[in-house]
Structure 1
Amino acid sequence: MVNNISDIEEDRSVVLRQLYRVQEELEYVYLHGGLGGKGEELDIKISKLKEEKQKVLIQLRYVNYCLALQEKEIKKSRDSVFGKLSNIIFSLNKKSKKRQSAKNKVEEDIKLILLSNYFDDEWYLEQYPDVKASGINPAEHYLQHGSKEGRKPSQLFDGEWYLEAYPDERG
Structure 2
Amino acid sequence: MIKTAAGLFAGRAYDGISVDDLVSHLGVHRNSLYKVFGSKRGLYLAALRWHLEHQVRPLLTKVSTAPDPAQMLRDTLVADDANSELDLLLMAAVERAPVDPEVADEIARTLRGCDAAVDLALRGAAIGGDAPSELAYTLVATILGLRLRSRTSADLSGAGIALFNHLHQTRR
Give the alignment's TM-score, normalised by structure 1.
0.24
Which structure has the larger Rg? 1
Give the alignment's TM-score, normalised by structure 2.
0.24
- Structure scoring higher RCO (CA < 8 A, sep ≥ 6) equals 2
